[in-house]
């Protein structure tokens, strides 16, 4: 299922039959990733009077309620409305869904008790200057990320200057395999979020940040096309399913 895509006067071929899913599925138990001090999501059948929404218990359909928080429990894509007093939703911000992207792997630098992704590391890795999106896979990379309990873990984060570099390089969509691009406990400064969105000076309303992804080791660093599809929530963030497609010879 080959398709030809044009970007900036260049043509690329991708195979839509070979998607590389870098999202984490949401499930209703302790094996779900968790952050921001919340318990795991819940997926439970509707119960009303004598009705239980589960086929195994006599219903004609499975009919579940789902409780979760997109920032804490799932791969999610967020807009600047995450940090603004005014309501801005991901539905308002993200209008197209297919982007030239570069995947980079970075081993964060140790700084006292922190692990920091620096501007120098990003600038050294970022080769594709016409990329619209950057996917950051932190090292070491391991399958346990898909069920990690992140609260109080002081996860790796981007320094402000790294976010500024990505912004100034024209990157509109930033994806990372951590619960946040910022430090877990930063007194609400949110330096990387604000720098990437250029908030509040000249806010980039069409830029997005996607967190809690997982990129398997078998997916090599390099250039891809990214399909970024958030669920249709009128909220600052929504669960999303980022999918990469390897670029073929045109």
Distance of CA 71 to the CA centre of its chain: 10
Domain hosting 92: range is 2-25+70-248
| d(C-alpha 45, C-alpha 41), whole Å | 13
pLDDT at position 7 is 81
pLDDT at 250 > cutoff 90: no
Q: Is 182 among the domain residues?
A: yes
Name the DSSP letter for residue 56.
Answer: G
Inter-CA distances, 212 with 44, 45, 55, Å: 24, 27, 32
pLDDT tens sequence across 132-150: 999 999 999 999 999 999 9
The mean per-residue pLDDT over the stretch 72-88 comes to: 97
H or E element: which one contains 162? helix 160-168
Contacts of 135 (CB under 8 A, 6+ apart): 22, 101, 102, 103, 104, 175, 176, 213, 215, 224, 226, 242, 244
| d(C-alpha 184, C-alpha 192), whole Å | 12
Q: Is 45 among the domain residues?
A: no
- pLDDT cut 90: percent of the chain above it: 92
pLDDT at position 249 is 66
What is the domain-level CATH number for residue 203?
A: 3.50.30.50
pLDDT at position 127 is 80
pLDDT tens sequence across 151-187: 999 999 999 999 999 999 999 999 999 999 999 999 9
pLDDT at position 130 is 87
Q: Is 193 among the domain residues?
A: yes
> Residue 25: which of 174, 245, 244, 239 has the closest Cα?
239
- Identify the bridge partners of residue 137 per DSSP, sorted by sequence position: 105
pLDDT at position 23 is 98
Q: Is 219 among the domain residues?
A: yes
Q: Is 50 among the domain residues?
A: no
Number of domains the chain is built from: 1
pLDDT at position 97 is 97
CA atoms within 13 A on the CB side of 12: 19
pLDDT at position 155 is 98
3-12, 50-59, 72-81, 239-248 — which is least confidently predicted? Answer: 3-12
pLDDT tens sequence across 180-210: 999 999 999 999 999 999 999 999 999 999 9
Q: Is 43 among the domain residues?
A: no
| d(C-alpha 20, C-alpha 137), whole Å | 14
3-state class percentages of the chain: helix first, strand second, coil last, to nearest 5: 15, 30, 50
| d(C-alpha 19, C-alpha 220), whole Å | 14
Q: Is 74 among the domain residues?
A: yes
Q: Is 30 among the domain residues?
A: no
pLDDT tens sequence across 104-129: 999 999 999 999 999 999 999 998 77
| d(C-alpha 30, C-alpha 39), whole Å | 8
CA angle 128, 132, 134 (to 5 degrees): 70
């Amino acid at each position: 299922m080959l398709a030809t895509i044009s970007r900036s006067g260049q043509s690329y071929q991708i195979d839509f039959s070979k998607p590389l899913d870098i999202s984490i599925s949401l499930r209703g138990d302790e094996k779900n990733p968790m952050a921001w001090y919340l318990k795991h999501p819940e997926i439970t059948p509707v119960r009303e009077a004598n009705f239980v929404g589960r086929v195994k218990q006599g219903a004609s359909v499975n009919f579940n309620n789902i409780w979760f928080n997109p920032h804490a429990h799932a791969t999610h894509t967020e807009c600047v409305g995450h940090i603004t007093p005014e309501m801005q939703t991901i539905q308002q911000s993200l209008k197209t869904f297919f982007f030239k992207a570069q995947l980079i792997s970075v081993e964060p630098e140790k700084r006292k008790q922190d692990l920091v992704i620096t501007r120098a590391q990003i600038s050294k890795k970022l080769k594709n200057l016409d990329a619209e999106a950057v996917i950051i896979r932190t090292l070491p990379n391991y399958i346990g990320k898909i069920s990690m309990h992140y609260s109080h873990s002081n996860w790796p984060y981007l320094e402000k200057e790294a976010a500024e570099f990505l912004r100034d390089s024209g990157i509109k969509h930033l994806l990372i395999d951590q619960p946040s691009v910022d430090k877990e406990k930063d007194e609400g400064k949110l330096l990387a979020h604000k720098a990437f969105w250029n908030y509040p000076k000249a806010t980039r309303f069409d830029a997005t940040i996607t967190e809690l992804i997982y990129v398997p080791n078998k997916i090599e660093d390099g250039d891809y096309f990214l399909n970024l599809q958030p669920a249709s929530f009128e909220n600052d963030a929504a669960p999303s399913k980022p999918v990469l497609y390897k670029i073929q010879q045109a």
